Structure 1
Amino acid sequence: MTGTAEARQFYARLMAAHAGSADPRLEEAFATVPREAFLGPGPWTVVAGDGRVETPTADPSHIYQNVLVALDADKGINNGEPILHAMWIGKVAPKPGEVVTHIGAGTGYYTALLAKLVAPGAVIAFELDAALAARAEENLAAFGNVTVIHGNAVASPLPPSDIVYVNAGVAAPPAAWLKALKPGGRMVFPWRPAERVALAVLVTSTESGFVCRPFMGSWFIPCVGASTTDPSAKIPDREKAARSRSIWLISDKAPDRTATAIIGDVWFSSRGVDGSGDKRAERQNLLRPLSGRRPSRRP
């Protein structure tokens, strides 16, 4: 086994361990999808803190670790941290035959992982940047179950989806994204309602409503068309945001005193869809800090 192959196998085991998933296919996906094929020719620029470091050579072993690799340094667009995406993919638990909508596909690396995991299901990948969309389409040509769309997923209708996987920060998910979820469908998105609030949120569509669970810190570049709020919005601080347990469409249910945030056509509640709340969090008005991640925008 070559050094690159060994590095990729070890990387895959690490990603599976961080994902906390019992699905052995997750490790296989990370082991079989070559990250370097989606980054352009090396050497590569790695984002480290507020600076950048170039890999010493074009040896792919350098990028089989938890590093941000610049895709467009001028725009701040990166191939996101693998550990973050491993954890997110573990949360949404893709299954064979499911349909995924990937918003902010970048050059397609994490799109490819999702495509592997849902095959023979489909992945519809939206990418707003024309150059990145063209690269993604080329990179994903071998994946017959992927469709790349150069367009804005905020302005475009989404297909009925088992998973909506969002890689751009939103002040709140558009109502249309929630409505696109099939029964039992899952959405993961970076919630950025305020400068100091940046949380990854898992949403599950149930018969009773949309279950919401913030689970870690997460910073992504803004989603065009869904990253700003109007003056009438109720913006949460980080503690209130972390206490959110359900999301509601205002057209279905008016906000009540449990509202932690009211933004656009949706509102977040500290109570679950079954009426239960996090009593401990309500008493203390806080939750344990969620782990943070460096800016990590693009697959």
Structure 2
Amino acid sequence: MTGTAEAREFYARLMAAHAGSADARLGEAFATVPREAFLGPGPWTIIAGEGRVTTPTADPAHIYQNVLVALDADKGINNGEPCLHAMWIGRIAPRPGEAVTHIGAGTGYYTALLAKLVAPGAVIAFELDAVLAARAERNLAAYGNVTVIHGNAVTSPLPASDIIYVNAGVVAPPAAWLKALKPGGRMIFPWRPAERVGLAVLVTGTERGFACHPFMGSWFIPCVGASASDPSAKIPDRQRAARSRSIWPISDKAPDRTATAIIGEVWFSSRGVGGGRG
């Protein structure tokens, strides 16, 4: 086994372990989707804290580890931390035949992983940056179940989705995103209601409403059109945000005393969809 192949095999096992999923297909997806195919030619720039380190060569073995690889360093856009995405994908548990909307697809690496996991289901991938969208379209050409859209998912209608996978920070998800979820659908997004508050949130559509579970810290670049709040918004601190257990479109249900946050078209509650407190 070559050094690159060995690094890739270990990387896949590491990602599967971080995912904490019983689905063996997740590790297989990380093993079979070549990360280097989505990064452009090496050597690559690795983001390390506030600094940058360039890989010594273009050997892909250098990027089969839990590192952030720059896609556009000047704009702060990178390929994302693989361990974080492994945990997120483990949480949303993609199943064959499901429909996925990926918001903030970048050059398509995590889109490709999702496409593998839901095939023959379809993936719609939104990317606002024209250069990245063009690269994603080229990179994903071999994935027949993926459609790349160069556009803004905040202002564009979303298709009905079993999974909405958001890779850009929002002060709150638009109500239209919630309503695009099919029954039993899941959405995962980086919630950034305030400068010092960054949480990954899993939303699950139920018959009674939208359950939500903030489960880890998370920091992504802002989502254009959904990263600013108006002065009347009720903005939570991290402790209050972490107590959120449901999210509601204001048009469906008015905020009450359990509100942990009221932002734009939606509000978050400390009460679960079944009435229990978090």
TM-score (norm. length: structure 1)? 0.93
- 2:115 equivalent to 1:115: yes
Match of 1:67 in 2: 67
Give distance in 1, aligned partners of 2:155 and 2:256: 29
Please give the alpha-carbon distance, in whole angstroms, between the structure 2 residues aligned to 1:57 and 1:153.
37
Distance in structure 1 (CA, Å) of the matches to 2:74 and 2:251: 40
Question: In the alignment, which residue of structure 2 is the partner of 1:144?
Answer: 144
List aligned pairs for 1:39-188, cutoff 5 A: 39-188=39-188
Alpha-carbon displacement from aligned partner over 1:159-211 (angstroms, at most 9, x marks no partner)? 00000000000000000000000000000000000001000000000000000
Structure 1 distance, partners of 2:87, 2:65, is: 15
Q: How far apart, CA to CA, are the structure 2 residues paired with 1:252 and 1:102? A: 25
Task: Output the amino acid matched with 1:117.
Answer: L
- Letter of the aligned partner of 1:180 in structure 2? A
State the TM-score, normalized to the length of structure 2. Answer: 1.00
- Give the aligned partner of residue 296 of structure 1: none
Q: What's the secondary structure of 2:102's corresponding residue?
A: strand
* Deviations 1:112-148, CA, capped at 9 Å, x for gaps: 0000000000000000000000000000000000000
Matching residue's letter, 1:276: G
Deviations 1:193-230 (A, max 9, x none): 00010000000000000000000000000000000000
Corresponding residue for residue 239 of structure 2: 239
Rounded to whole Å, the distance in 2 between the matches of 1:273 and 1:67 is: 37
Query: In the TM superposition, what are the counterparts of 1:234-273 in structure 2 within 5 Å?
Result: 234-273=234-273
Deviations 1:39-66 (A, max 9, x none): 0000000000000000000000000000
The whole-number CA distance in structure 1 between the counterparts of 2:125 and 2:249 is 25
Give the secondary-structure state (helix, strand or coil) at the position aligned to 2:214: strand
Deviations 1:96-126 (A, max 9, x none): 0000000000000000000000000000000
Structure 1 gap ranges (5+): 279-299
Percent of residue pairs identical: 87
Q: Which amino acid aligns with 1:92?
A: I
Give the Cα separation in 2 of the matches to 1:249 and 1:159: 18
Pairing 1:151-230 to 2, within 5 Å after superposition: 151-230=151-230
Q: How many pairs align? A: 278
In 2, distance between residues paired with 1:148 and 1:271?
A: 37
**Distance in 1 between residues matched to 2:104 and 2:159, nearest whole Å:** 16
Deviations 1:243-284 (A, max 9, x none): 000001111111011000000110000010011002xxxxxx
* Displacement of 1:2: 1.2
**Counterpart code for 2:88:** W
Asked if residue 18 in structure 1 is aligned to residue 22 in structure 2, the reply is no
Deviating beyond 2 angstroms after TM superposition, the runs of 4 or more aligned structure 1 residues are none
1:153 is matched by which residue type in structure 2?
A
